[in-house]
């Protein structure tokens, strides 16, 4: 402790500067985040409540939302996002089973792990283009089907309005499955091996070990993967659709993201696009809240 008055002032100044340090450290990141997220969110909400034709004023502020909800394309797009949601349980079940198999050190497990993860690092447009060519009328898939005598199954995978969204679906599952496998496998690697050894001594079968050791340990990671995948299906599928079908045939593969993109950049309806964006954001918030609830439940179950 300094006794002299002058050095007390200096010490106080130093302390004040010390207090400032953490704010200076977070400042660059906070400025970028404000620029990229905070301002756009505020601006989005304001835009969604106003209409450009009426000098920024609407009768009751919700006209854009009404227009969105009445638009049949909105319902169709939402329905397609929900169809993509179906991929999540499918991917989760397959990925958990594959991870459990690989974890038992099946011959060649490292090879399988590397292979299944490979699609995940490819650019989505690359995946989309490859699948578009494979799924063409005379593409590889139909050639193979005809080759083995299953001509009836050879369909116009991307040209048929009933099938196209499921073709996009399959490209997404193909690319994202490996993420789940690798995630689950890494989590299993940190499970105490003595648990499995004890189960072996007790002559517990594969299913019993899976049910009582593997699944409970995976529960938090499964919850993470499911949430992340649902959010992906809601808000990161634009690239697949844009590259593979661009919404067609006859608008059958529109998803919410594509509808936002087209409203904003093709139809020049920024306020409608803003209202749609707010809807998607709220959807994401709901998913996150459900996840937080499920996480609390899992934590309580595991004590």
Partner 1 sequence: MTVRSRRSGGLGPVTALRQVPLAVMALVVLVPLYFLVVSSFKTSADFAASPLGLPRHPTLEAYHKALAGHRIGLLFLNSLVISVSSVAVATAFGALAAFALAKMRFRGREPLFRLMLPLMVVPPIALLVPQFKLMSALGLVGNRLSVIVLYVGIMLPFTIYLLRNFFAGVPDELLEAARLDGCGTLATLVRVILPLSGPALMTASVVNFVFAWNELLISLVFLQSESQRTLVVGLTLFRSRFSLDVPVLMAGLAIATIPVFLVYLFGQRFLVRGMLSGSSR
Residues comprising the chain, all counted: 303
CA dist 11 → 16, 25, 156, 183 (Å)? 9, 22, 77, 51
Residue 101 in contact with partner 1, rule: CB under 8 A: yes
Residues 56-95 that bind partner 1 (CB under 8 A): none
CB 78 within 8 A of CB 163: no
Q: Pick the piece of the chain touching partner 1 (CB under 8 A) from 52-60, 111-119, 149-157, 159-167.
A: 111-119
By rule CB under 8 A, what count of residues binds partner 1?
93
Q: 301: how many CB neighbours lie within 10 A of its CB?
A: 9
3-state SS assignment for residue 71: coil
* DSSP code per residue over 196-245: HHHHHHTT--HHHHIIIIIHHHHHHHHHHHHHHHHHHHHHS-HHHHHHHT
Residue 210 in contact with partner 1, rule: CB under 8 A: no
Residue 300 in contact with partner 1, rule: CB under 8 A: no
State the binding string over 28-47 for partner 1 (x if CB under 8 A, else -): xxx-xx-xxx-xxx-xx--x
Min dist CB 5 to partner 1, Å, is: 26
At a CB cut-off of 8 Å and minimum separation 6, what does 262 contact? 247
Residues 211-250 that bind partner 1 (CB under 8 A): 220-221, 224-225, 228, 231, 234-236, 238-239, 242-243
Residue 26 in contact with partner 1, rule: CB under 8 A: yes
Min dist CB 166 to partner 1, Å, is: 16
* Residue 166 or 242 having the CB closest to partner 1: 242
Min dist CB 291 to partner 1, Å, is: 9
């Amino acid at each position: 402790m300094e006794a002299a008055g002058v050095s007390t002032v200096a010490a106080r100044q130093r302390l004040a500067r010390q207090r400032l340090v953490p704010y200076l450290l977070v400042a660059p990141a906070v400025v970028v985040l404000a620029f990229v997220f905070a301002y756009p969110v505020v601006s989005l909400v304001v835009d969604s409540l106003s209409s450009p034709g009426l000098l920024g004023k609407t009768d009751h502020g919700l006209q854009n939302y009404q227009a969105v909800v009445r638009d049949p394309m909105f319902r169709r797009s939402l329905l397609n996002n929900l169809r993509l949601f179906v991929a999540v349980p499918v991917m989760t079940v397959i990925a958990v089973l594959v991870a459990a198999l690989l974890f038992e050190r099946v011959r060649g497990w490292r090879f399988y792990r590397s292979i299944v993860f490979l699609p995940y690092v490819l650019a989505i447009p690359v995946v989309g283009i490859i699948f578009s060519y494979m799924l063409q009328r005379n593409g590889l898939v139909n050639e193979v089907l005809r080759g083995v005598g299953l001509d009836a199954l050879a369909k116009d995978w991307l040209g048929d309005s009933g099938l196209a969204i499921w073709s996009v679906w399959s490209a997404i599952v193909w690319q994202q499955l490996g993420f789940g496998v690798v995630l689950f496998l890494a989590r299993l690697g940190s499970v105490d091996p003595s648990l499995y050894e004890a189960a072996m001594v007790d002559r517990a079968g594969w299913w019993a070990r899976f049910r009582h050791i593997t699944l409970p340990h995976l529960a938090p990671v499964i919850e993470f993967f499911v949430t992340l995948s649902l959010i992906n299906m809601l808000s990161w599928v634009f690239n697949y659709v844009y590259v593979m079908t661009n919404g067609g045939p006859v608008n059958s593969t529109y998803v919410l993201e594509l509808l936002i993109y087209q409203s904003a950049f093709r139809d020049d309806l920024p306020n409608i696009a803003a209202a749609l964006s707010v809807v998607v954001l709220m959807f994401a918030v709901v998913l996150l809240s459900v996840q937080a609830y499920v996480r609390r439940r899992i934590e309580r179950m595991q004590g």
